[in-house]
Amino acid sequence: MTPLLSAHGITVRYGSLAALDGVDLRIEPGQRHGLIGPNGAGKTTLLDVLAGSTRAGGRVLLAGRDVTRLGPAARSRRGIGRIHQRPAVWSTLTVRENVLVAALPRAVRPGRWHPSARRRAAERTADALLTRVGLEEIAALPAGQLAHGQRRQVEIAMGLAGRPRLLLLDEPAAGLSAVEVAWLGEFLRTLPRAVGVLLVEHRLDLVYALCDTVTVLRDGRTLATGSPARIRASGPVREAYAEGVA
């Protein structure tokens, strides 16, 4: 089967530092793939490369098509959605407007429909997502007024509004309360299998419970890839984590 995403020999250098040094990654359709590793391992850099916002050596293929030379907007149109390490919402727009802005580009095929029909389609998508993430009651509030956990929910709705085939999540549980982490785990578990997930997370309990495959990065290289059970039992992985995670 053609992988949903495959990345080959991904290399990113900042001066003498190799943030990523020849990383390969393969994500199957519908897979929940965890990406873990100590601080500075290169996890966020790899998500940046896959989303098209950082240039890198190597190749990235989405569903068999080479997207290496495409920027973030083109990759997003082709189905790569991104949730950032720090929630990136428009603070002066309302919760609903944030999700609407994210839904508009993929509401219908560009140029096919009248703009007002396109807007109505985006509104339907946005309202359905706001209900699904449980934000409908505060949809009219400016996003800047929300607590961190609610901003995270808005960003998740925004990420899904683009109808991704692959959702890249960068530490979505960071800064969430125990109740919010439980909500997040359940929400990700119930995502349709049509959406592949690449989950970067320091909360290993969440990764092991949710993911079918886990890749461990350390110093810009792949240390191991395997089932959660295999990764959990791996001595080198435990050693890498013993160096400390913030």
Which residues of the shown chain bind ligand ATP in the complex (CB under 6 A)? 14, 17, 19, 37, 39-45
Strands of the 196-200 sheet, one edge to the other: 80-83, 166-170, 196-200, 32-36, 213-218, 221-226
Let me know how many helices (H) and strands (E) the chain has, helices first: 9, 10
* Residue whose pair of structure tokens reads 């110093």 in the numeric block: 219
When the beta carbons of 43 and 203 are compared against Mg ion, the nearer one is 43
- Characterize 185-201 residue by residue with b for buried, 16 or more Cβ atoms within 10 angstroms of its Cβ, and e for exposed: bebbeebeeebbbbbbb
Cβ closest to ligand ATP, residue 179 vs residue 242: 242
Nearest distance, CB of residue 179 and ligand ATP, angstroms: 24
Per-residue binding string, Mg ion, 24-63, x by CB under 5 A, is: -------------------xx-------------------
Q: Is 153 in the site for Mg ion (CB under 5 A)?
A: no
User: Distance from first CA to last CA of the chain, Å, rounded?
Assistant: 38
Does 76 engage in binding with Mg ion (CB under 5 A)?
Answer: no
Nearer to ligand ATP, 32 or 43 (CB): 43
Q: Out of Mg ion, ligand ATP, none, which partner does residue 40 contact, by CB within 5 to 8 A per kind?
A: ligand ATP
**Is residue 2 exposed (0-12), middle (13-18) or buried (19+ Cβ within 10 Å)?**
exposed
At closest approach, how far in Å is the CB of 46 from ligand ATP?
A: 7
From ligand ATP, Mg ion, none, interface partner of 39 (C-beta below 5 to 8 A by class) = ligand ATP
User: Residue 123: in which H helix or E strand, if any?
Assistant: helix 115-133
Q: Which is nearer to ligand ATP, 128 or 225 (CB)?
A: 225
Tokens of 74: 């083109």
**Residue (44 or 98) nearer to Mg ion, CB:** 44
- Report the nearest approach of Mg ion to the CB of residue 85 (Å): 5
DSSP H or E run through 197: strand 196-200
